[in-house]
Structure 1
Amino acid sequence: MSYFDGKVAVITGAGSGIGRALAVELSRQGAHLALLDQDSAALAETARRCELPGVRVVTQTVDVTDWGSMQAAAGTVAKELGGAGAVFAVAGIIHRGSVLESEVSDIELVMSVNWLGVVHTVKAFLAQVIASTDGRIVTFSSAFGLAAISKYSAYNSSKFAVRAFSESLRQEMSLSRHRVPVTCVYPGGVRTPIVRNGLFAASENPEAVTKSFETRIARMTPEQAAAIVLKGVERGRARVFVGSDARLVAALVRVVGGHYQDLVPKLVRLLRRRTPSGRS
């Protein structure tokens, strides 16, 4: 029997990518689902894929940056499904652009969705998860939450913040003797629409960036990522690295520490010199 069999799992960002893959796999493992996303049509498609005998599915169109909306969502889950037993805070967006050229409004939106959205999700459902006994809180950082990269300052900041929030909360749960392991997930390149749907500074080339991500970086499917995540969550691990690239970044930072900030620009310049156009 699966650990998740009969549990109520809440998933934000359930309309696509890893969120959708988690929902489908959890339904196969017998979990009841509360699926949350801003895109009602995408949410309905995810729910359709999760329609299995004995599995109850509730969908809610919500904005994770809206605290009132998240509180209402938690109330609905308590009423219709009896409360959450596992929470997966997956919803997120990405932005590319230098600090000099990026709009403050874009930076604020990334922080609001990626960090504050996680805080809202966890805060809204935490009491339910604690009451469920043997529950799980799952947050999503990124390989960019382990090491910062040029032109992704907003995204880096949000994912570093998720990491800190998760590590603090895990300690709180332990000190309070609540049986609620907090797992922070660090995906590398996964084939999701996050870059295609991302935000870009005016000087950036969204098409070129998206093509590079989808052809050179995003090598893992959402389904493969979901399987790795669920295995780590079931075991109550503090960190789950998704993909060899995420593990490589973690190892690099562990070995060289803060010196990676000087090494990465040198590597990028070297790669640029080796390309015919002079660009990476």
Structure 2
Amino acid sequence: MTAIRGAAAITGAANGIGRALAIELGNRGCDLALADRDEAGLKTLAAEIGAARKVSVHRVDVSAPGDIAEFAHNAIAAHPALGIVINNAGVALMGTFEEIDQAQMEWLFDINFWGVVHGTRAFLPHLKTQAEAHIVNVSSIFGIIAPPGQSAYAAAKFAVRGFSESVRHELAVAGSPVRLSVVHPGGVATAIARNSRTGAGVTDNARRAQSIERFENAAKTTPKDAALRIIKGIENNQPRILIGNDARFMDLLQRFRPGTYWAPLQRKLEKMAKGT
């Protein structure tokens, strides 16, 4: 069991799940190194957490490896007992594969996948010096299933899952004190859909509004509940953390019908949209 103590580093901390994690970990006695591009949001969050915890804020673009390396250096200097790293920052991109261009796909991968890889690499040497430590890499339920219109996002989140599982097994074989969990949230009520980019080839503006509305209607889990589930997963050293009944259902469906899950899932989603 991993104890919640020392300090935690969190990317994407200014909003959504990252923000909720910062508050809940702070409530449990963790000092915090908070990273985001939204520096004003970080400062507001730090003020909300208050002086009871040591909080450092770091303006970081996780698509820039240099920013992540600097974040790790400064976070460890500010919090020598840092033992939890949560690679949470992520973005979304709406459109089919043919509607998004290569530059957009690479933009998403730089944040959603390479940001996780660089964050893991930057902090791992320090974490290995701790008596116990934990890495949390946030994938998605779309790292388990891959719906149409999510080719870039699903590809990156599947990559996070594969990378993280392999690193976890490597750490276990080496007898490392570092544990690693992969998080697969279902619909969480954050602004990720509203803040998403649209594929260069998408010409139907109404489709974006409809997609956002569908996501927000389906996103039943609060960021706080997601954060509490992740913290429980850290404490229990759970390798896979599913968040929400929707994620648990989709994971189960994929296990039973790994190659043919989409047709029954689509029917269920259509019924939900109609309220039946």
TM range (shorter): over 0.9
The one-letter amino acid paired with 2:54 is: R
Q: TM-score, normalised by structure 1?
A: 0.91
Q: CA deviation at 1:240?
A: 0.5
The one-letter amino acid paired with 1:3 is: A
Deviation digits for residues 113-171 of structure 1, max 9, x if unmatched? 00000001111101111111210000001111001000100000000000001100100
Q: Distance in 1 between matches of 2:227 and 2:51?
A: 18
Report 1 or 2 for greater relative contact order, CA contacts < 8 Å, sequence distance ≥ 6.
2
Task: Give the secondary-structure state (helix, strand or coil) at the position aligned to 1:105.
Answer: helix
Judge conservation of contact 2:130–2:177 (CA < 8 Å) in 1.
Answer: no
Identity %: 35
Q: CA deviation at 1:103?
A: 2.0
RMSD after superposition? 1.8
In structure 2, the partner of 1:137 is: 135
Deviation digits for residues 91-128 of structure 1, max 9, x if unmatched? 00011101111122211111110000000111110111
Judge conservation of contact 1:77–1:83 (CA < 8 Å) in 2.
Answer: no
Q: Distance in 1 between matches of 2:112 and 2:77?
A: 27
Q: Distance in 2 between matches of 1:146 and 1:128?
A: 30
Q: Distance in 1 between matches of 2:131 and 2:138?
A: 22
Q: CA deviation at 1:261?
A: 4.5
Q: CA deviation at 1:70?
A: 1.0
In structure 1, the partner of 2:33 is: 34
Q: Distance in 1 between matches of 2:11 and 2:81?
A: 15
Deviation digits for residues 177-222 of structure 1, max 9, x if unmatched? 002111000000000010000011223532221122112x111110
**Stretch moving more, 193-202 or 22-31:** 193-202
Deviation digits for residues 52-83 of structure 1, max 9, x if unmatched? 42x10000001111111111111111222115
Task: Give the secondary-structure state (helix, strand or coil) at the position aligned to 1:136.
Answer: strand
In structure 2, the partner of 1:180 is: 178
Q: Distance in 1 between matches of 2:28 and 2:140?
A: 26
In structure 2, the partner of 1:113 is: 111
Judge conservation of contact 1:84–1:125 (CA < 8 Å) in 2.
Answer: no
Deviation digits for residues 225-251 of structure 1, max 9, x if unmatched? 100110011111100100000001110
Q: Distance in 2 between matches of 1:253 and 1:32?
A: 38
Q: Distance in 2 between matches of 1:46 and 1:207?
A: 29
Q: Distance in 2 between matches of 1:83 and 1:93?
A: 30
Alignment of 1:1-150 (within 5 A): 3-5=3-5, 7-53=6-52, 55-82=53-80, 84-150=82-148
Q: TM-score, normalised by structure 2?
A: 0.92
Task: Give the secondary-structure state (helix, strand or coil) at the position aligned to 1:196.
Answer: coil
Judge conservation of contact 1:139–1:183 (CA < 8 Å) in 2.
Answer: yes
Matched, 1:210 2:176: no
Q: Distance in 1 between matches of 2:262 and 2:77?
A: 49
The gaps in structure 1 that reach 5 residues or longer are: 276-280
In structure 2, the partner of 1:255 is: 256
The one-letter amino acid paired with 1:214 is: E
Q: 1:30 to 1:256 in 2, by over 3 A?
A: same
The gaps in structure 2 that reach 5 residues or longer are: none
In structure 1, the partner of 2:226 is: 225
Judge conservation of contact 1:141–1:187 (CA < 8 Å) in 2.
Answer: yes
Give aligned pairs, total: 268
Task: Give the secondary-structure state (helix, strand or coil) at the position aligned to 1:42.
Answer: helix
